[in-house]
Structure 1
Amino acid sequence: MTMLTYTLITDPAPLAASEAGRQSKSTGTVYLLVTNTGQTAYATIKVTVPVGTGAGHLTHDFTTITPKGEHTDIKTGRTRAVTVQTQNFAVQVSDQGSAVSFGPGDHMVVTLENVTVAPEPGLAVLRVTEAAGRSKSGGLRRSDTVVAVVKTAPKDIPAPHGFLADDVVVDAGTKVTLNWEGSDDFTYEVLFPGGRKPVPRVKHPGSHGPYSLVLDAGDAPRRDTTYTLVAGFGAQRHTLTTTVQVRNPVLGTLTAVDGVTTPRLAGSTQGDGSITFLPGGVKVWSTPGSDAPGTVFADKADLDGVNTRWVQGRSSDDGWIAFSRFGLQVYPGGPGTSTHGVVYADSVRAKDAPYGQGGGWINLHDEGMTVYLSKNGSNGLGSVTARDFNR
């Protein structure tokens, strides 16, 4: 039976086992509280740590442990450091090689810092070997006892957070930089329409650091795009999303159910025409920002009416028709010529002839022309009335 009393405390409590394959390991601190509950005692103390990867081991790497010891005299209230040595997976505590003096009520704390917890959950038992006596000059008697540490199952890796783009509104084709905070234990991948990008692992001083991924011109968004960050380790899986808006989206097709509202439409390349929407109609311009009217090309038009100053054939040499307040005038060649042109027709019908319905009808043929009554479709010859005739 030991002269001193031993109590073991951990931080955090309980300790979580490390998980195989994770870059970040579970670490903690083990405190061994040594208390004298009786008469004055003198003792050296050895704590043997079970090392390995099993359920009964505290750590698989003894070299990471930093030990220290502090003794507190209850009468004076003074705390002082004691000598701590390590050897063969054990920590030896003494007073510069001699037994430490424990007055009634004195205590000592042996601290094992930076313990990398072994990967299997379970109960790790530490053996305490005490060499103690009531007299400093007398022989010290060896006694053994044990203290135990609980190791729970590994904790989940903290979920990543802060998944955002440097710029949430960009021009089409502009590179995008995505940033987030997350553990180095995860394998990261960014998904987006038409592609996916794995994220290279990076090394940080801690297990939780900043990440970034740059999508260059080849993967840059051409329309509003939602990016999905996928973080995975074993059975753990987390997804985060962020959206980047594009000022000038490039679309393959556009289907608008309720209509499209815009003040202007323009072509996608330099020099293309544009359409401006005005109250009551539209205007077509030769180039965006220009005041020069442009041209509308179509196979046919089905309209309720047309208001125009002139009409011409497709060729620049074709005749054209000008509209004046008194009627219309036909000219040969392009607009601007003043010579009158020719109207070709098989026949001419006069709407308001004396015989009424149908009007008079003039048939034009190779030998000349014939005037018909054209009353109710009659082929009866009609009359030509003139004030004068010069032959």
Structure 2
Amino acid sequence: MPRHLQQHAVRLELDGEQLVHDNLSGACVSGDALWVAGDEACGLDRLRRLDPVDGEVLRFGEAQHFPLADYLDLPAAADIEADIEGLACADGYLWLVGSHGLKRKNPKPGRDDNLARLATLSHDGNRCLLARIPLVDGADGLPMLVREAPDGRSAAVLKGGPRRNELTELLADDAQLAPFLAIPGKDNGLDIEGLALHGDRLLLGLRGPVLRGWSCVLEIAVETRKGKLRLRPLGKGGAHYRKHFLRLAGLGVRDLHMDGDDLLILAGPTMVLDGAVRVFRWTGAAQALAAVPDDEAAAMWWDAAVEQLALPYGVGEDRAEALCALPAGWAGPRRWLLLYDAPSAARKRGEQTVMGDLLRNG
């Protein structure tokens, strides 16, 4: 279990043109590569594992950018940000999820329209995105993305459009979550952050809303029909999604990662706050999820998630956003990579390089 933090142990040399170094929000590993996403982009970056150069434990570089529009039929134009908030690599696919939520314009110093900005809500069309893209080995030995793989695997997006998809259409009638679809994510509105796969199920973590201290993880299953991902019932006659409410000390989910049958949860403030960031472990999550009857729409877990580690944070910076497991041969047994949005100056090495942290058992 992750009990110790090794700060600034991982060096990421990113593509400066993509500006993801200041807004990292998702990560996953496939082959000998690390995939990362930024929440202000509409693409993914692949980094190769390289030899360390300055005392770090791990180094990644030779970044290559993969625009999502090259592989997916996006809900909106290719230059509109997707606000990618979760990545997972499993069974030959890279899965990704956007925030699905509204955003509010941010007031800026010296402007005379700040009141109007604070009243302006928008929903960039590519934020409402849940998709998978096939991974294949490239000529350089690294994994790459393709629309169609030789073995028949194909890229697909959950059916929907710029403002809604099958999932948000169902949530619009949900007793607990529906009122929060009209509230921006950073105001405790609906905000998906975190994606984990286990078997045929997808788990989506909600940064918001947090309801009376209860955090929510959505469970869904998908299938492919006519080139689109479609929600399918969770078992015979079951619901098309299920809510799992957990106590995470009043924090919202920032990322999810399956660790065997356990679920690791990175949690932080729902709103724009400098506050507690913690890692929780839900031991036996897979068995608990499987034990819920197919026709149950929700489950509440009173003491399932146990805090493992409190993480440092800064004032307006160093907000932990991405968590993923690393192969045992990369940095010793059982290591997890932790990446930050709004990295502090101490984490930067020039204009294109940032440092992440390692979580370890001992």
TM-score between the two structures when normalised by the length of structure 1:
0.19
Is the radius of gyration larger for structure 1 or structure 2?
1
TM-score between the two structures when normalised by the length of structure 2:
0.21
Bigger relative CO (Cα 8 Å, ≥ 6 apart): 2
